[in-house]
Amino acid sequence: MHPITDALPATLCYLDGEYTALRDAKISVLDRGFIFGDGIYEVVPVYGGQPFCFEEHMARLDRSLAELQIVNPLSLAQWRDIVMRLIAPGGNAPQAVYFQVTRGVAPRDHAMVRGLTPTVFVMVNPLPPVADAVRAKGVACVTADDFRWQKAHIKSTSLLGAVLSRQISVEAGAAETVMFRGDWLSEASSSNVWIVKDGVLIGPPKDNLVLTGIRYGLLERLCREGDIPFALRRVSRDEVFGADELILSSASKEVLPVVTLDGQTIGNGQPGPIYKSLYAAYQQAKQRNAEKQGATA
């Protein structure tokens, strides 16, 4: 056995109606998720023992399943019950719940097979926070052409494009790979990308060329509450390099300031005031969610 395989955790996971140790969970080699990447996934952060933006994540799961013509096998209440059981042992520590639904098991054939029972898998991982020292300094990123497919809005398990794009930044010693389709900003390998210019937070529009992160809606709300102008539109490469601030957002990064891109300084080379305002508002939103959900549990 490989040492990584030997070290797989014994934490509880959910697979097709059963709770079992993660290291013991097994699927068929003919599962279409394994053979084709024919499935979708979601990742929901958990703070203070409560899932954060749970309904929004589940709505995106529904949208992705509909794009693949897979019927959601569980109700919102059933998904929540699974989540609450799996996160309970973690107490109030930050966690990330990973959901995966595939079309199911069938003889290998590219055509969609009707009437299959979807494979449903859910697991929980620790969600280590970005270090305060990293946030205070900001991170470096690199750029690349967005060589992925034209249906980036589907949160598909077919993530080879994301793997290859992330490796570009790994090999460059950078935090992320910011991608462009031609001259236009799309997203990073596993993050959405935002610029700040003249006090306005600006991101690419919601279309098939980006995976609209849950933070899209959250940041729009936080901007509204904080009187920060917010806009979605095409963003050029020159605008990115000429931005006052450059910010990443994702479930694991929350919001994270980028201070250099391809070795060029962004803004004044320090995390900016819009980032700082959004990060503080984000922490307040997490606390309010944990208190509200905990009170209604």
How many CB atoms within 10 Å of residue 182?
9
- CA angle 113/18/50 to nearest 5° reads 105
Q: How far apart are CA 279 and CA 256, in angstroms?
A: 8
Q: How far is residue 159 CA from its own chain's centroid?
A: 12
Range of lowest pLDDT (3-7, 56-60, 69-73, 247-251): 3-7
Burial label for 1, CB within 10 Å (0-12, 13-18, 19+), is: exposed
Q: What is the pLDDT of residues 134-159, one digit of tens each?
A: 999 999 999 999 998 999 999 999 99
Q: Across residues 9-21, what is the average pLDDT?
A: 93
Is 155 a catalytic site residue? yes
| Category of 182 on φ-ψ map: left (φ > 0), alpha (ψ -120 to 50) or beta | left
Above 80 in pLDDT, residue 1? Answer: no
Confidence at residue 293, expressed as pLDDT on a 0 to 100 scale: 81
Above 70 in pLDDT, residue 33? Answer: yes
Q: Across residues 228-245, what is the average pLDDT?
A: 98
Q: What is the pLDDT of residues 77-91, one digit of tens each?
A: 999 999 999 999 999
Burial label for 296, CB within 10 Å (0-12, 13-18, 19+), is: exposed
Please, are residues 16 and 104 in contact by the beta-carbon 8 Å criterion? no
Q: What is the pLDDT of residues 253-284, one digit of tens each?
A: 999 999 999 999 999 999 999 999 999 999 99
Q: pLDDT class for 297, splitting at 50, 70, 90?
A: low
Q: pLDDT class for 3, splitting at 50, 70, 90?
A: low
Confidence at residue 7, expressed as pLDDT on a 0 to 100 scale: 61
Which is catalytic among the residues 155, 197, 253, 286?
Answer: 155
Confidence at residue 255, expressed as pLDDT on a 0 to 100 scale: 98
Question: Which residues share a beta bridge with 176?
Answer: 141
Confidence at residue 270, expressed as pLDDT on a 0 to 100 scale: 98
Confidence at residue 80, expressed as pLDDT on a 0 to 100 scale: 98
Q: What is the pLDDT of residues 41-80, one digit of tens each?
A: 999 999 999 999 999 999 999 999 999 999 999 999 999 9
Q: What is the pLDDT of residues 198-216, one digit of tens each?
A: 999 999 999 999 998 899 9
Domains of the chain in sequence order: 12-126 (3.30.470.10), 132-287 (3.20.10.10)
Nearest to 95 by CA among 142, 30, 50: 50
Confidence at residue 295, expressed as pLDDT on a 0 to 100 scale: 61
Q: Across residues 284-297, what is the average pLDDT?
A: 84
pTM score: 0.93
Q: How far apart are CA 276 and CA 258, in angstroms?
A: 12
Please give the C-alpha separations between residue 84 and each of 18, 37, 119, 123, 156, in angstroms, as whole numbers.
15, 27, 20, 11, 24
